Amino acid sequence: MPEVTDTYTILLVEDHQDIAEMVFAYLENRGFELDYAPDGEIGLNLASEHESDAIGRDVMLPRRDGLTVCKALREESHDETPVLMLTARDTLEDKITGFNSGADDYLVKPFAIEELEARIRALVRRQFGKQKSDVLSVGDLTYDLNTLTVQRGGQELQLSPISLKLLKILMEASPKVVTRREIERLIWGDVLPDSDTLRSHMYNLRKCIDRPFRQPLLHTLPSNGYRLFSKHADA
């Protein structure tokens, strides 16, 4: 059994007492903290009032079904907490309906409790990843990884797809030096280009991010590689 590495708070919305008890016993033993709601109405209230890392809910629930609750969370409360649907309904149409209501994953009953844990952890990791900063910055240069927008000094720059890849590599490593061989491996894999290809792409990248500005950010270290850094930031 995998080791427990993180503690998460889970809201379980389930009207079958035996399933709820099984999930509670296992997940609490695995280090999770759990809240519980026996019907959709209570589940929606708890989800709105208390922050959870993920929500596991049945589809067929008393008072308010799981699909309606999920839709209300997304549309009314703008809650982006990951939702895992737990249901005996296993047709493709059922799954599509669940996803369209705002669910992030779908687990068909009966399920292995170990799979439930694995899916919850995967959902939480994915959500935490979204919350991390997706904007790289070096000096006055920024790169939004979501929109693929590059700006310097507030001015938007137009870069080719390969220039964007090169920029991402250099910004993530900044201020460290990245060798030519490492860059070539990350861009082209095992099929390495001729010796002038990378030099040409670096020339184009430098022309986009440095030429219009007084302070150069892209630096070439002969016989070593390249690095991206701001002298003002390092001063």
Domain with residue 209: its CATH number is 1.10.10.10
Phi-psi region of 140 (alpha: psi -120 to 50; beta: other; left: phi over 0): alpha
Domain with 48 in it: 9-131
| Residue 4 within a domain | no
| Residue 3 within a domain | no
Confidence (pLDDT) at 157: 93
Mean pLDDT along residues 221-225:
86
Residues 114, 13 within the same domain: yes
Residues 181, 115 within the same domain: no
Residues 112, 194 within the same domain: no
State pLDDT tens for residues 116-145: 999 998 888 877 665 455 788 998 999 998
- Kindly report the number of other CB atoms within 10 A of residue 39's CB atom: 17
Residues 149, 219 within the same domain: yes
CB 136 within 8 A of CB 172: yes
Residue 28 to residue 87: CA distance in whole angstroms: 22
Mean pLDDT along residues 59-65:
85
Confidence (pLDDT) at 228: 93
Q: Sign of the C-alpha dihedral, residues 96, 100, 102, 104?
A: positive
CATH number of the domain to which 78 belongs: 3.40.50.2300
Q: Is the pLDDT of residue 218 over 90?
A: yes
Mean pLDDT along residues 51-79:
82
State pLDDT tens for residues 79-115: 778 889 898 888 888 888 888 888 888 888 989 999 9
Residues 74, 172 within the same domain: no
Confidence (pLDDT) at 19: 92
Residues 176, 106 within the same domain: no
Selected residue with higher pLDDT from 50 and 169: 169
Last residue in a domain, options 106, 131, 156: 131
CB 63 within 8 A of CB 40: yes
| Residue 2 within a domain | no
CA angle 192, 195, 198 (to 5 degrees): 75
Residue 216 to residue 160: CA distance in whole angstroms: 19
Residues 192, 105 within the same domain: no
Q: How many domains does the chain have?
A: 2
Residues 149, 173 within the same domain: yes
Residues 115, 47 within the same domain: yes
Q: Is the pLDDT of residue 177 over 60?
A: yes
**Least trusted range by pLDDT, from 68-72, 75-79, 131-135, 205-209:** 131-135
CB 169 within 8 A of CB 183: yes
Confidence (pLDDT) at 165: 92
pTM for the model: 0.53
Q: Is the pLDDT of residue 73 over 90?
A: no
Residues 166, 226 within the same domain: yes
Single-letter code of the amino acid located at 120: I
CB 55 within 8 A of CB 80: no
Residues 40, 91 within the same domain: yes
CB 48 within 8 A of CB 72: no
Residue 228 to residue 170: CA distance in whole angstroms: 6
Residue 80 to residue 69: CA distance in whole angstroms: 13
Selected residue with higher pLDDT from 130 and 226: 226
CB 229 within 8 A of CB 175: yes
Residues 14, 127 within the same domain: yes
Among all chains, which residue has been given the structure tokens 């290809």? 197
In 3D, which of 90, 96, 85 has the Cα closest to residue 58?
Answer: 85
Confidence (pLDDT) at 234: 43
Confidence (pLDDT) at 235: 40
Residues 6+ apart with CB under 8 A from 216: 206, 210
Last residue in a domain, options 103, 131, 159: 131
